[in-house]
Amino acid sequence: MSSVDTIQSKTASAVVTPAAPVHLSVAAKTQWTAKYATAHAQAMIDHPDNPGAQRTAALRSANTVLKVPEPKSAADIEVLEPWQVLLRSTRNVNGIQTLVCVTTDGRKYSFPISSPQPSVDLNAMSKWQLISHAFDVHGLELDSSLKKNEMIAAIAEKAAK
């Protein structure tokens, strides 16, 4: 090894990986740092004489970790990691309980919280109540000549579908 090689290796700039965003979880920070290092190594090959392009490519790759999956329901919001959510609260909007969420990428979501349907005791209903319930709740038209247990069976079959 010549003295020129030694001097160049001592003066060559080392790759400095910036700190991952502080709001990330430990696992996400590790993933962010790994993506940065991998992309920077590739960018050094792709853009050998352009340190700015190398850093830009590495940051773009690492920042893909910051993308928050778009929730489609209140249940999807509940499974987001804490670092992905700035605000998560429930509010009463026009008489409907609503889950409101703002993600770390600045997007806002709100979904009505579904409340469980009250259980109905079909056996306690009269035939006319059964006919009305079947139509109003299930869209099922029952013949009034059916026996009560036949009506209940038809409603249960429709509800199971």
In a domain, 40, yes or no: yes
Structural domain total, the chain: 3
**156: nearest Cα among 116, 114, 117, 121:** 121
Range of the domain at 89: 74-112
Residues 43 and 79 in one domain: no
Residues 54 and 23 in one domain: yes
State the alpha helices, DSSP H only, in 1-87. 3-11, 26-46, 51-62, 74-78
Residues 78 and 60 in one domain: no
DSSP single-letter state for residue 12: S
Q: What is the pLDDT of residue 41?
A: 94
In a domain, 150, yes or no: yes
Beta-carbon contacts of 104 under 8 Å, excluding residues fewer than 6 positions away, are 23, 66, 68, 83, 84, 85, 86
In a domain, 152, yes or no: yes
Q: What is the pLDDT of residue 115?
A: 59
In a domain, 155, yes or no: yes
In a domain, 156, yes or no: yes
Alpha carbons 86 and 76: distance in angstroms, whole number: 15
Each of the 161 residues of the chain gets a pLDDT tens digit; together they read: 444 333 343 444 567 889 999 999 999 999 999 999 999 999 999 999 999 999 999 999 999 999 999 999 988 998 999 999 999 998 887 778 889 999 998 999 999 886 555 677 888 888 888 888 888 777 888 888 988 899 888 888 877 76
Give the H/E segment covering residue 133: helix 127-138
Q: What is the pLDDT of residue 3?
A: 40
